[in-house]
Homo-oligomer: A and B are copies of this chain.
Amino acid sequence: MRNMVRVNIRTGEIRTTPCSEDELRWGGRSLIAHLMLQEVRPTCDALGRENTLIVAAGWLGDTAVTTAGRCSIGGKSPLTGGVKEANVGGVAGSKMARLGVRALILEDAPEKPESRVLWIGADKCELLAAPELRMAEVGRTFQILRERFGEQAGFFCIGPAGEMGLGGAAIATTDQTGVQARFAARGGLGAVLGVKGIKAIVIDDTGATPDRAHDPTALGAANKELWQMLRDDPKTQNRHDYGTPAVLSICDTLGILPTRNFQTGHFEEFEAISGERVAELILARGGEGERGLPCVRGCLIQCSNNFADPAGKTLVASLQYENLGLLGSNCGIGEVDEVARINHLCNQVGVDTIETGAAIGVAMEAGVIPFGDAAGAKDLVRQIGQGTPLGRVLGSGVVITGKVLGVRRVPAIKGQAIPAYDPRSLKGIGVTYATSPMGADHTAGNALEMAKVLDQKKPDGQVAASLRLQVRGALLDSLGVCLFIRPAFVKNPDLMARLLNARYGWSLTFTDVQRMGLKCLEMEREFNRLAGVSDELCDVPEFMRTEPLAPFNTVFDVPREEMKRIWDVKLPEGVF
């Protein structure tokens, strides 16, 4: 991964250039932070000509290290106004890395709306007209792409929401079989791709000659160790069997499951949409349903699923916790098949389910449709794809939905919807939501894993914990690995340094690596500062500080001033 591929959308020029020393130092999320700070005017219009859409391989993107095929998609977010990285599985990322491409950088925008495909191969890169894809849904788009470019390729694409430039638009990608749609969902990056007139990116690694690791033996040994540690971890089997939906019952018990637009943290029908129920239904229904699917190659956890209806026909793949939380309990919908159908519709339209579920919850609070109205929710998502005025409002995200519909209880921070962990009874994640350069994003530092060691209903210690978790998130997103392999690094942080040293010939200690994670956050914060995203805006929504959350009647009470000083907290050295 020694090259950058730069595409100027306006002129059509495509250049492959060797990475600079600086660019070789960074990977994934940290590479995006570095490039954005170097190349993009922070105050530019996120959907204007000056913003850049970056696809970056993680540090370990071209290795066989477990889950390392994830990739980072980034740019300035139309929702937060700051730098955004959305991390995604699937196979396209590792194919790009195998082609030696460290980052793909899409610059400028077309003179007029376009629908084109960017094709990246071993010997050439091309911009191809694809008018037949205009306003096509995501599933149909992948189908056409597979037919035109072959099943061996990796694909990214947007749906109608991205083409309309809506702030809730996501970027979709697939696993090798094409069964699962996966999304670089947060921050509206689908809209950034959309205004560039790029409907899809096709990455064909046929004939690729990937870089050799600096020390393949050491890399293999470290990966083996990592693999063994994960095998020994009892959580791995649970994740394989139940996937992310396993979290739903836990969140309900903790009282942090968003229910009816974050009115309560317990959903009386939670069992019907729980991970246990999802797994049970998949087993019972058979047909196309399947548990334990891989999302990236080389993953041993394989937590994904294909969720089928009673007739065994796929409803959606993969059904995940955030979908169940935001489209289910948050909308008062306790029928899991209906949640899966709404999820599928979101995938087809190409919108973030977190942003959209939050927006529908707000629309329900406004009385547009009642809580629990699954048919109404499906209609609303279809309206996004149709571009009706109401659909466009919802597709623009929860903040605009709240403003337009006159709702004051809007679960969003810095312009972005709050994921399915209510911060009133999980205070550490509230600190992350408020202070992360990413806006409200659970993957930026999720305190759920601290729930056993730090009382999440109390404000004490949450700021320091969040900083540690945020550095952790920045590192995992820069490595290009899944959050779910973190237990191995928590147990043995040096493993991370060993993997990097073996791949690159570096001689880092874990403390050095940790500094790079902190530096990633610093670069992002600097971009945001220059973009006018002020640290003064670091807080949860007002109603979360005043409205007690049932069942534990908590409010968010981490002091604002303490959160503002998070970057002055000393990070414990050597601890992941």
| Contacts from A to B (Cβ < 8 Å) | 42-45, 47-50, 78, 164-167, 195, 388-390, 392-393, 396, 400, 403-406, 408, 529-537, 539, 541-542, 546
Please indicate the chain B residues that have their CB under 8 angstroms from the CB of A534 in the complex. 529, 532-534
Please indicate the chain B residues that have their CB under 8 angstroms from the CB of A167 in the complex. 403
Min CB distance, A51 to chain B, in Å?
10
Min CB distance, A406 to chain B, in Å?
4
Min CB distance, A417 to chain B, in Å?
15
Please indicate the chain B residues that have their CB under 8 angstroms from the CB of A541 in the complex. 45
Q: CA separation between A560 and B393, bound complex, in Å?
A: 32
Given the known inter-chain contacts A403-B396, A403-B400, please indicate yes or no for A408 contacting B195, CB distance below 8 A.
yes
> What is the copy number of this chain in the assembly?
2
Please indicate the chain B residues that have their CB under 8 angstroms from the CB of A400 in the complex. 396, 400, 403-404
Are B408 and A48 in contact (CB-based, < 8 A)? yes
Please indicate the chain B residues that have their CB under 8 angstroms from the CB of A45 in the complex. 408, 541-542
Question: Could you list 30 examples of A-B contacts with CB < 8 Å?
Answer: A42-B536, A43-B537, A45-B541, A45-B542, A49-B542, A50-B542, A164-B406, A165-B406, A166-B406, A167-B403, A388-B389, A389-B390, A389-B404, A392-B404, A392-B405, A392-B406, A393-B393, A393-B404, A396-B400, A396-B403, A396-B404, A400-B400, A400-B403, A400-B404, A529-B534, A529-B536, A532-B536, A532-B537, A533-B534, A534-B534
Min CB distance, A135 to chain B, in Å?
13
Please indicate the chain B residues that have their CB under 8 angstroms from the CB of A404 in the complex. 166, 389, 392-393, 396, 400, 404
Min CB distance, A114 to chain B, in Å?
14
Q: CA separation between A76 and B195, bound complex, in Å?
A: 33
Q: Of all chain B residues, which has the CB nearest A535?
A: B532
Please indicate the chain B residues that have their CB under 8 angstroms from the CB of A396 in the complex. 400, 403-404
Given the known inter-chain contacts A400-B400, A404-B392, A404-B400, please indicate yes or no for A43 contacting B539, CB distance below 8 A.
yes
Q: CA separation between A166 and B403, bound complex, in Å?
A: 7
Q: CA separation between A344 and B539, bound complex, in Å?
A: 41
14 new A-B contacts, CB < 8 A, other than A45-B408, A49-B542, A532-B537, are: A42-B536, A43-B536, A47-B408, A78-B403, A165-B406, A167-B403, A388-B389, A389-B389, A389-B393, A392-B393, A396-B400, A404-B404, A532-B534, A532-B536
Q: Of all chain B residues, which has the CB nearest A560?
A: B43
Q: Of all chain B residues, which has the CB nearest A546?
A: B49
Min CB distance, A9 to chain B, in Å?
14
Min CB distance, A53 to chain B, in Å?
16
Q: Of all chain B residues, which has the CB nearest A78?
A: B403
Q: CA separation between A411 and B405, bound complex, in Å?
A: 23
Min CB distance, A52 to chain B, in Å?
15
Please indicate the chain B residues that have their CB under 8 angstroms from the CB of A408 in the complex. 45, 47-48, 195
Interface core residue of A48, A530, A546 (most chain B CB under 10 Å): A48
Please indicate the chain B residues that have their CB under 8 angstroms from the CB of A388 in the complex. 389
Interface core residue of A165, A406, A529, A542 (most chain B CB under 10 Å): A406
Are B542 and A44 in contact (CB-based, < 8 A)? yes
Min CB distance, A5 to chain B, in Å?
26
Q: CA separation between A273 and B47, bound complex, in Å?
A: 35
Q: Of all chain B residues, which has the CB nearest A50?
A: B542
Q: CA separation between A35 and B467, bound complex, in Å?
A: 36
Q: Of all chain B residues, which has the CB nearest A533?
A: B534
Please indicate the chain B residues that have their CB under 8 angstroms from the CB of A393 in the complex. 389, 392-393, 404
Q: Of all chain B residues, which has the CB nearest A543?
A: B48
